[in-house]
Amino acid sequence: MPELKKRPVQRRKLSDAVFDQLVALLREEGFRPGDQLPAERELMDSFGVGRPVVREAMQRLAGMGMITIQHGERARVGQVDLDSVFNQIDLPARHLLSSSARNVDHLREARVFIEAGLVRLAAERASDDDLARLASALGAMRGARGSDEFVAADMAFHVEIARISGNPIFVAGSRAILQWMADYGRDMLRAKGQQQTLDEHERILQCIVAHDPAAAEKAIRAHLDRTARLPARPAAERGAAARRPPSGKGSHPNEKERFA
């Protein structure tokens, strides 16, 4: 008879089991954002555990944005969307990037790869309405030239390209990458740099209008390659940025620090 290999059973914290039960409750009972959860006492009775266990599991859910907890009130189901999902990893991502220049290089490479694919999709799929919104985003950049709003408008242009894909994952992911890269942003506030950025964006827009995916990809790669060679922010500023709390949906604590 062969020797039986050891297969130790992993012990689980009660709060982990309750957490799983709460997630199943939210999925199976049709709870919608804003709905109240059962009272703590009901959950304690249902799961056969004490109040500390229920609270620990609920705090974990709250930390993920799945529920909101206010003192003196029953917990409510939170509004979870793709932006809030990325916000959950915002602070760890900033910390990871601040700890290694190599990680920043990896993120920059990922950004180029993703935006090159997105601009090709935009050139293939853009409708007249899409082109109008993209032209409006470029117009907002022109109007913001010389002001602290320029780079925020710049980011909006890139996000609009992602929006043309019709895939909300691309939109939220692109926005998150831009926010993280902003901590290592380039000084795009100089008038010369702004005009060059406008010229490059105009070329990207022309390629999308012409529905030329290859030319659009070439244009955006040239644009991102140039911005990658601009002077980086000092390390001390990058470290401070990495310690910022997660930003709100589509926002950043200091919009003028964004880049291209």
Domains of the chain, start order: 14-80 (1.10.10.10), 85-257 (1.20.120.530)
pLDDT of residue 160: 97
Nearest CA-CA partner of 183 in 63, 118, 65, 100: 100
pLDDT of residue 183: 64
The per-residue pLDDT of the chain, averaged, comes to: 82
pLDDT band at residue 256 using 50, 70 and 90 as cut-offs: very low
Three-class SS string for the chain? CCCCCCCCCCCCCHHHHHHHHHHHHHHHCCCCCCCECCCHHHHHHHHCCCHHHHHHHHHHHHHCCCEECCCCCCCEECCCCHHHHHHHCHHHHHHHHHCCHHHHHHHHHHHHHHHHHHHHHHHHHCCHHHHHHHHHHHHHHHHHCCCCCHHHHHHHHHHHHHHHCCCHHHHHHHHHHHHHHHCCCECCCCHHHHHHHHHHHHHHHHHHHCCCHHHHHHHHHHHHHHHHCCCECCHHHHHHHHCCCCCCCCCCCCHHHCCC
pLDDT band at residue 171 using 50, 70 and 90 as cut-offs: very high
Q: How far apart are CA 200 and CA 119, in angstroms?
A: 13
More confident residue, 89 or 35: 35
Q: Which residue has the tokens 């019709």?
A: 166
Nearest CA-CA partner of 247 in 163, 174, 151, 175: 175
Q: How far apart are CA 191 and CA 175, in angstroms?
A: 25
pLDDT one-digit tens code per residue, 63-107: 888 899 988 889 999 887 777 777 777 778 888 888 888 888 898
